[in-house]
Amino acid sequence: MRSGTASFLLKEFKPPSSVIDDGGYSEDQKRDMAAETVERTEQISVYGGSAVFRFRSIIQEPVFQALVAFQFLLSMAYLTPVYYMEVYATHIGISEQTGASIIGWFNAAAVVSGVVSGVLADRLSKSAMLIVANWVTCFAVLVIWPLSQSVGVFVVFALTYGVAFGAVSTVTPVMMADYYGPQRVSTILGTVFSFCSAGLIGGVLISGHLVEATQPKVRYLPLIIYAGTMFGMAAAMATLWAYLLQRKRRADACIAAATRHACEGPGTSGTTTSSND
């Protein structure tokens, strides 16, 4: 779409069914997706090429709602292993010095993973990387952590969780910026992280209560089960979010192709761009 000096508002566009022929959708599904995209487009006015952001339409999208649910569930247990890793090391008989060293290895693994995953996200599928990292986090907490009764297994847990921790922290904002664009991502991040703040506070309170409830003989299994369950639910929502993102991109690509066809004429064919999402 060419930007002009006057305001442009797309209305009542009906893409020809012959143009929307990708994705394996039925004709009814294609028409529904076209109507949804046209409705969203009508809520964005363009003046001089800069879009006026309509926040209300964004928060009503299933993509945004899945993102908020994913981040909220993740924040409910996000810091639990970090806070309790050192005291758990002492609980299983590891010296404080060795426990501090293991925490250092965890931090190093998270930093390296954040850098590497950021580079790989530009070359591989961001969605696949996000899904794998979330499920690895769940596996590390729910399976490896309860088995960590020795230094060796506990080191494996710390490194595995650190790698997954760094990947999730890096890839998620990248996917958000890639989908919402530089003009809107700051607003989206602020809104999502507002929900995350409530999740972080609630998660810390719940974790502390679960540990205190096992006194006088402190046991960490209830805490581990809670954290692992939250990570599992977050991984499921991350998978749903990635699926909805890909589905939305395919629908928008179909509409974009139909728009070019209508604006340029039936004799001009447009090119389709792909993103390693």
What does the mean pLDDT of the chain come to? 79
Element spanning 18, H or E: none
Using 50, 70 and 90 to split pLDDT, how confident is the model at 52?
A: very low
pLDDT one-digit tens code per residue, 188-247: 888 888 888 888 999 989 998 998 898 888 889 999 999 999 999 999 999 999 999 888
Residue 4 has pLDDT above 70, yes or no: no
Q: What are the distances in angstroms from CA 49 to CA 45, 58, 180, 187, 270?
A: 9, 20, 16, 20, 21
DSSP string over 67-126:
HHHHHHHHHHHTTHHHHHHHHHHHHTT--HHHHHHHHHHHHHHHHHHHHHHHHHHTTS-H
Question: What angle in degrees, to the nearest 10, is found between the helix axes of 151-180 and 80-91?
Answer: 180
Q: What are the distances in angstroms from CA 175 to CA 63, 69, 165?
A: 12, 16, 16
Determine the pLDDT at residue 261.
64
Average pLDDT on 43-52 reads: 40
Determine the pLDDT at residue 71.
93
Domains of the chain and any CATH numbers: 61-247 (1.20.1250.20)
pTM of the model: 0.72
CA–CA separation, 101 and 251 (whole Å): 49
> Residue 222 is encoded by which pair of tokens?
């209830």
Dihedral angle sign, alpha carbons of residues 59, 63, 66, 71: negative
Residue 59 has pLDDT above 90, yes or no: no
Name residues whose C-beta falls within 8 Å of residue 216's C-beta, 6 or more positions apart in sequence: none
Using 50, 70 and 90 to split pLDDT, how confident is the model at 266?
A: low
